[in-house]
Amino acid sequence: MGERAINGQMTASPSPPTRSAAPDDAHVIGASLADPERFATIFDRHHDRIAAYVRRRLTADGGDELAAQTFLIAFEQRARYDRAQRSAAPWLYGIATNLLRRHHRSETRRWKAYATHGETGAPAVDTSDLDARADASAAGPALARSLARLRRDDRDTLLLFAWADLTYPEIAAALSIPIGTVRSRINRARRLLAAELDLPAPTTEPAMAPGRATLSTKESE
């Protein structure tokens, strides 16, 4: 609190108003049980990220539809949300992943088509950030082939890490699995990528901190 002179006398300056922190997702979801319109805040906070993620794994139209289904299911199941989890992101990605599993075969076909025909003969698949060692035109088809060969559970786990930017604990919460299972799935997927791309086998885990991740099989620095 500062001071200022008024009529030659020093008086305390008023403190600036403090801003209250926005309620976290758990609070908003709890409030939405009595006031359903409050759930719109969850949509506004997370829709763009969820939609972008599912578009990358499906087509643009299919991704938008699946994202809408994700939030509809979340709204219907909001009473079951674990309010010990302050962020709803892992919960929402978990719902989206369950919906994506219905499209597992078509997603695999898209990866295989991209691997075979490259950029000209397959649906648009963004692989530009999958591997830091090479440009997209060279690495894309090889990576697409590798992703098509991954087990469904391994691919889901790896892409939640690499494309959704979730940490290991967040992935564990999203998929309702132990962190050790997350670790083993990602390590298995990275080793397959290393073999497919003729890279040294990874010997360390990728960084678990939030932030942009890639599917690079190089060791974390």
For residue 175, what is the domain's CATH number? 1.20.140.160
- Can you give the pLDDT at residue 202? 66
- Can you give the pLDDT at residue 138? 43
Q: With respect to residue 30, please indicate whether it lies within any of the assigned structural domains.
A: yes
Q: With respect to residue 191, please indicate whether it lies within any of the assigned structural domains.
A: yes
- Can you give the pLDDT at residue 117? 64
First and final C-alpha spacing in the chain: 45
- Can you give the pLDDT at residue 190? 87
Domain limits for position 85: 25-196
- Can you give the pLDDT at residue 12? 54
Q: What is the pLDDT along the chain (221 residues), one digit of tens a residue?
A: 455 444 555 555 555 555 567 899 999 999 999 999 999 999 999 999 999 999 888 876 778 899 999 999 999 999 999 999 999 999 999 999 999 988 777 777 776 776 666 554 344 444 444 444 333 344 567 777 778 888 999 999 999 998 899 999 999 999 999 999 999 999 998 888 888 776 666 665 665 444 444 444 333 33
Q: With respect to residue 203, please indicate whether it lies within any of the assigned structural domains.
A: no
Q: With respect to residue 147, please indicate whether it lies within any of the assigned structural domains.
A: yes
- Can you give the pLDDT at residue 147? 80
Q: Sign of the CA dihedral 22, 25, 30, 31? A: positive
168 CB neighbour count, 10 Å cutoff = 20
For 112, the token pair is: 């295989």
Q: With respect to residue 114, please indicate whether it lies within any of the assigned structural domains.
A: yes
Burial of 63 (0-12, 13-18, 19+ CB in 10 A): buried
Give the separation between CA 49 and CA 51, rounded to whole angstroms: 5
User: Count of domains in the chain?
Assistant: 1
Give the separation between CA 218 and CA 221, rounded to whole angstroms: 9
Q: With respect to residue 1, please indicate whether it lies within any of the assigned structural domains.
A: no
Q: With respect to residue 220, please indicate whether it lies within any of the assigned structural domains.
A: no
- Can you give the pLDDT at residue 199? 66
- Can you give the pLDDT at residue 136? 37
Give the separation between CA 175 and CA 157, rounded to whole angstroms: 8
Q: With respect to residue 140, please indicate whether it lies within any of the assigned structural domains.
A: yes
Give the separation between CA 38 and CA 45, rounded to whole angstroms: 12
Maximum distance among all Cα pairs of the chain, rounded to whole angstroms: 83
- Can you give the pLDDT at residue 51? 94
